[in-house]
Structure 1
């Protein structure tokens, strides 16, 4: 799908024809749509289709007629019947008088501009607009990172109550998401560093200031990713320790119950042997059975009190 936009008097509106200052949004374009753009702006078809490959690496490519910038942007997907985060490529092509964005799916990075959430941007100022897209990409990373940290906090709060297998899986999923983010953010950082050094890309002083802001936000996102990875690693170790501790407590409780139950089992086993009653205590005494049961009960209670003091009966 191809959609055309242009800002006039700081108002973004959809247009029907190509023209100077246009923003060409290509969302999961077909082969025919890609060919039409490639032929119209004299772009290599492979470069137009590059951002549609999930394995495409972030890079800057400067050609005679255009400049291609590919960066990774955050995306939401359903993985293992759960909402997870990953990264996908976003292609930005700067041609003579237009800017082209190419992505395999709709993304909040670009939707923020379409919905008017980003102020004071102009599709006619291509370099500044591109840096604003990159800046919005960094802030989107940071937003998703905060969402993941809130999920981790909810899992951590449930540790005191009851830890389920789903919590361990969710924690592992969050850690995997952070690995994807860290890899993509580092690759984006390389692209941003190249943009600061490329002399063939014309930049104005205010554009360089915005690029510096993008660099700062990208570094902050990288630091947030590392911090949250360390916190999740600590949370996972805490969960493992608590699970092992609960297992040890359960084993101690079962061992204590076994010790308490061993007393009546041994005594009843002795009295249950096929021997004469002459030498069996309380065998011929009135209420002998009740006396033996009372002795068993007293011994069991004494053992239970001793085990409780040693915290063996605590689950």
Structure 2
């Protein structure tokens, strides 16, 4: 757990948790905590039991906002795209009049990235901290969306150039992740919409209007993921079409080869009959003549099929 006093974007480390009980003359306290620290934080700040229970739960938490008497509890999902896999990480935030507590189970990039922004904008209010933090979380969805789009384009190119059966697993896996993200984006949009429209006494009225910009971005992200879902459907159709065309090509080649060998099989079948009185059976060069005829017939049919672009 790290306790910082933030004033005009300047951080000062606070060693004693009891010092955060009263509001500072200027600025606010930012407490960056793990779930294990909630046992100490709950009695000090009067954190609601249900909110603490949500933070400690092993189950996946949906984005939400809970309004309590002395503080707000907000859950948003941070997004990461590592090693071709998409991860959502819960970011739990307790917002008070003079403090903000961020609780995570894993370290999040947004909490590292927020520090220079606070210093640059000389932030001294916890509600403005909340705004900038959620703005960072939402912006990261655009970055992940760009990477997903690049992956879709590359997958589409690979399918058109050389279709592999492994591509189907990639399509199904990526589509499932997109649908899962789309499902989680709905509640997250609603949380931002509440921060934008609902009368919230712990958030300044002027600042609250800025949440509308974040909400618009969240809507754009949701629309982008709708587009990705449609593109994955198109990719699956392209894959199936490519596989069907490939099967047709293989069958066409096999059919052409079979057609070439049918007359050759007929000739060998006729001359394979064990009759004494057969024309050309006792001819000195009959064997080579028949081979020549078979070779000429086979090459002629092969040339004809190639000319008609059948093989």
TM-score, normalising length: structure 1: 0.87
Runs of 4+ in 1 over 4 A off after TM superposition: none
Pair 1:291–1:41, CA change in 2 (3 A): same
Kindly indicate whether residue 285 of structure 2 is the aligned counterpart of residue 287 of structure 1.
yes
Give the Cα–Cα distance (whole angstroms) in 2 for the partners of residues 291 and 110 of structure 1. Answer: 86
Q: CA deviation at 1:122?
A: 5.5
> Does the 8 A contact of 1:24 with 1:100 survive in 2?
yes
- 1:39 aligns to what? 43
Q: CA deviation at 1:76?
A: 4.6
Pair 1:13–1:286, CA change in 2 (3 A): farther
Pair 1:13–1:302, CA change in 2 (3 A): farther
Kindly indicate whether residue 200 of structure 2 is the aligned counterpart of residue 195 of structure 1.
no
Q: CA deviation at 1:75?
A: 3.6
- 1:111 aligns to what? 112
Q: Note the residue ranges of structure 2 that are not aligned, 5 or more in a row.
A: none
Give the Cα–Cα distance (whole angstroms) in 2 for the partners of residues 160 and 246 of structure 1. Answer: 11
Pair 1:118–1:229, CA change in 2 (3 A): farther
Q: CA deviation at 1:173?
A: 2.0
> Does the 8 A contact of 1:59 with 1:69 survive in 2?
yes
Give the Cα–Cα distance (whole angstroms) in 1 for the partners of residues 184 and 112 of structure 2. Answer: 21
Q: CA deviation at 1:195?
A: 2.1
- 1:63 aligns to what? 68
- 2:294 aligns to what? 296
TM-score, normalising length: structure 2: 0.88
Kindly indicate whether residue 32 of structure 2 is the aligned counterpart of residue 25 of structure 1.
yes
Give the Cα–Cα distance (whole angstroms) in 2 for the partners of residues 75 and 117 of structure 1. Answer: 20
Pair 1:34–1:123, CA change in 2 (3 A): farther
Deviates more, 1:133-142 or 1:298-307: 298-307
Deviates more, 1:139-148 or 1:266-275: 266-275
Higher helix share: 2
CA RMSD of aligned residues (A): 2.2
Q: CA deviation at 1:218?
A: 0.7
Pair 1:17–1:64, CA change in 2 (3 A): same
